[in-house]
């Protein structure tokens, strides 16, 4: 069972806007930055969003992140077929000596 | 651009110790710029953070694995390593090495991963 909670699946049609939620607690999302990753089948996760809403160079501005309280969300606008992948949220958790925690992942299907 | 590459046995017997190495290129493990991590992903499942090491040797481990995990760094070879003892089938996973920019940040860069199967 993952510390951060994501919906297991999401879907949309090409061109549509899709959002994926990530729920946590005061010890993780509530007090630390949220990161988002995209994982294509058979590949390593790729950083999409860091520090809640920052995009690394090379990530299209169709991807955006936001955070409010103990929840965060990833929005993908202008959905494309190549966006079909698993998406994970992550944050640092201040419990005990601290550790990185992840959501269970959301499988995005482009219909 | 810092790149990471995992290496090690793809098959480990139950009760034995899993050993993996991550070779860093395009940067130095001793630069102090990053924290060097291990993360794993069982087949068809989500991601689990194992722990990290700083070039100074300072470590932090996931409490759920702490009793079995050792992460070390070899600055002369520009590598860091993972040892996980007393493995069972539940430790079968793709193991990723990764880097984080601060002590309280999830990874910003990942290796390609290596599958380790625990089986007799």
Block means of pLDDT (10 residues each) for chain B, 120 residues, are: 96 98 95 94 96 94 96 96 98 97 92 97
B54 interaction partners in chain A (CB closer than 8 Å) = none
Q: Which residue of A44, A56, A102 is in closest CB contact with B46? A: A102
Closest-CA distance, B106 to chain A, in angstroms, reads: 6
Q: What is the pLDDT of residues A2-11, one digit of tens each?
A: 999 999 999 9
Among left, alpha and beta (phi > 0; psi -120 to 50; other), residue A48 is: alpha
C-alpha–C-alpha distance, residues B100 and B110, integer Å:
9
**Residue A97 sits at the chain B interface (C-beta within 8 Å):** yes
C-alpha–C-alpha distance, residues B1 and B59, integer Å:
24
Give the pairing of strands A34-39 and B11-12.
Answer: unpaired
B67 interaction partners in chain A (CB closer than 8 Å) = none
∠ CA B106-B108-B112, rounded to 5°:
105
């Amino acid at each position: 069972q993952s510390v951060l909670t994501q919906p297991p699946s999401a879907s949309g049609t090409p061109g549509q806007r899709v959002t994926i939620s990530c729920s946590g607690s005061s010890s993780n999302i509530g007090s630390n930055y949220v990161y988002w990753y995209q994982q294509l089948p058979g590949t390593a996760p790729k950083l999409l969003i860091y520090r809640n809403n920052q995009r690394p160079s090379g990530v299209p501005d169709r991807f955006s992140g936001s955070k409010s309280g103990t929840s965060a969300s990833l929005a993908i606008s202008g959905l494309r077929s190549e966006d079909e992948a698993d998406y994970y949220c992550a944050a640092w958790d201040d419990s005990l000596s601290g550790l990185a925690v992840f959501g269970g992942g959301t499988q995005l299907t482009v219909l | 651009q810092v790149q990471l590459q995992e290496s090690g046995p793809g098959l480990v017997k139950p009760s034995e110790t899993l050993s993996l190495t991550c070779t860093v290129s395009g940067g130095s493990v001793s630069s102090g710029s990053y924290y060097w991590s291990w993360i794993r992903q069982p087949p068809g499942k989500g991601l689990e953070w194992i722990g990290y090491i700083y070039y100074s040797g300072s470590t932090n481990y996931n409490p759920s694995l702490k009793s079995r995990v050792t992460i070390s760094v070899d600055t002369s070879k520009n590598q860091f390593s993972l040892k996980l003892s007393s493995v069972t089938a539940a430790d079968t996973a793709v193991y990723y090495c990764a880097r984080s920019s601060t002590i309280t940040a999830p990874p910003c860069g990942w290796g390609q991963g290596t599958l380790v199967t625990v089986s007799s």
